[in-house]
Structure 1
């Protein structure tokens, strides 16, 4: 079984723990629940299957039942709070605590790079601009950004992008993009991406006043749909995004960095129609 700091989903961790115990002994869900002090023999089975969650009260009992000690207890309890967090701000706080503990125990968590990459709009923009401006100093790249950014910010971004493998410096102040994409766990990466979506959404609002209509395109439609129509629209948007990506990939003479946001979100709650008598 992997060390606990390689997990970020406590349901998966407990499931692996149970399977490992069962593989090496006559272990059962009833026994597991009894050791942890639960009356229901199927409670921990439901937790492992993701059908219910541990609480701040029960997580300590489970940690003790499976023999966690020292930092393992702290990591497990933080992992439970991460899994149960209700909003992205709380999730990010707990995930950062988990990453810190994992790094202090010599385990590399890829989500740290993902969070740092998506933590600011500057990193994706600098990653695109730097290869377009061979020999440019950080101050030159900063001036090329449409938004306010300092030379120090660009220098920090370049340092991170090179360290994390998103850019490769081939000569002094000459960069190439690597083929590396941003990868992370299924728990952490969506959280990091949502952080970037919020930042880019704010830039989209700002673009309404910052840029003339001939260099930006902002349109929208308010409509009524059902679930089937929603799924069809999402499929069209996915196909549109793929076609736009192909066009961008075929562009060899790049002169500017753009951001495309595709947004489809509800403006009302779902209305359940009453059947006519």
Structure 2
């Protein structure tokens, strides 16, 4: 199986580690592992099925059961807390620690550097540079964006990315991405990021006319939930987002930059109507 450092979903790692363990041992079952961990076998199975979260007090015993070394255990601990995180800031904190354990440098944006989020194409161009060779064909770079931007905007974007040390040139003069992950630190919910989100949501709407159906997947559905279930819904969305991020990180031969917007918001509150009826 692949190294634990390549996982971003702790429950996927549990499934793979368990199957790998069975190949090396004569008799292994969820009940056997539960007995060794002093845990409920049914709960362990539900954890592996992504139905519930692993109890925090089982993090260390499970690491010992699978024979993880010190660094692997540290990553495993952050991996579980990342999967259990209830807020973006909490998830980001554990994700950053995971990246540091992997030896991946992180780039935190200071307030003055939040200019990066002022236009959608800054992020798009950074991603384009990360998957193709680019030197000085700014016209081609501008046309690679969808919608296309001007040559001046493309040059402006490259200059900003360079000023922020997000990109640099190699020995042959081609631009390359310096960091693999960018966070906004304490400004995770800053006005700049919200403006960026609004701009990408606008682009999603325009994609209905700009791109053919095979190039997009935009669907809408109106549902009703109990407000007490919203935390669970957000958790499901986060798991889906994490899985796509994992596929993106593990992919090879990437040739297209996509923007994923997952939008969940209320359209009506019946509480006020119910109060009026009393």
TM-score range, shorter chain: 0.5 to 0.7
Give CA-to-partner distance per residue, 1:164-210, whole Å, 9 cap, x none.
02112214551222226444453575321100011001100100011
| Alignment correspondent of 1:207 | 207
Q: Is the 8 A contact 1:165 1:178 kept in 2?
A: yes
Find out whether 1:134 has 2:133 as its counterpart.
yes
TM-score (norm 1): 0.56
**TM-score (ref. length: structure 2):** 0.55
Q: How far has the Cα of 1:131 moved from its partner?
A: 3.1
Residue 123 of structure 1 is matched in structure 2 by 122
Does the aligned pair in 2 maintain the 1:169–1:175 contact within 8 Å?
yes
Aligned pairs for 1:32-47 (under 5 A) are none
CA displacement 1:12-71 (0-9 Å, x = unmatched) = xxxxxxxxxxxxxxxxxxxxxxxxxxxxxxxxxxxxxxxxxxxxxxxxxxxxxxxxxxxx
- Higher-Rg structure is 1
Work out whether residues 123 and 161 of structure 1, in 8 Å CA contact, stay in contact via their aligned partners in 2. Answer: yes
RMSD over aligned CA atoms reads 2.4
Taking the TM superposition and a 5 Å limit, the aligned residue runs for 1:1-277 are: 110-114=110-114, 116-136=115-135, 137-171=137-171, 173-179=173-179, 181-184=181-184, 186-187=186-187, 189-269=189-269, 271-272=271-272, 273=274
Q: Is the 8 A contact 1:161 1:167 kept in 2?
A: yes
Q: Which stretches in structure 2 are left out of the alignment for 5+ residues?
A: 1-108
Q: For the Cα contact (< 8 Å) 1:166–1:181, is it kept in 2?
A: no
Query: How many Å separate the matches in 1 of 2:191 and 2:254?
Result: 31
Q: Secondary structure at the match of 2:196?
A: helix
- Do 2:132 and 2:255's aligned partners in 1 also have CA atoms closer than 8 Å? no
Distance 2:209 2:262 in 1: 20
Contact map agreement 1:127 1:161 (CA 8 A) in 2: yes
Which structure is richer in relative contact order (CA contacts within 8 A, separation 6 or more)?
2
4+ long deviations beyond 4 Å:
274-277
> How far off its partner does 1:227 sit?
1.7
Q: Structure 1 residues 176, 225: closer, same or farther in 2, change over 3 A?
A: same
Number of residues paired by the alignment? Answer: 168
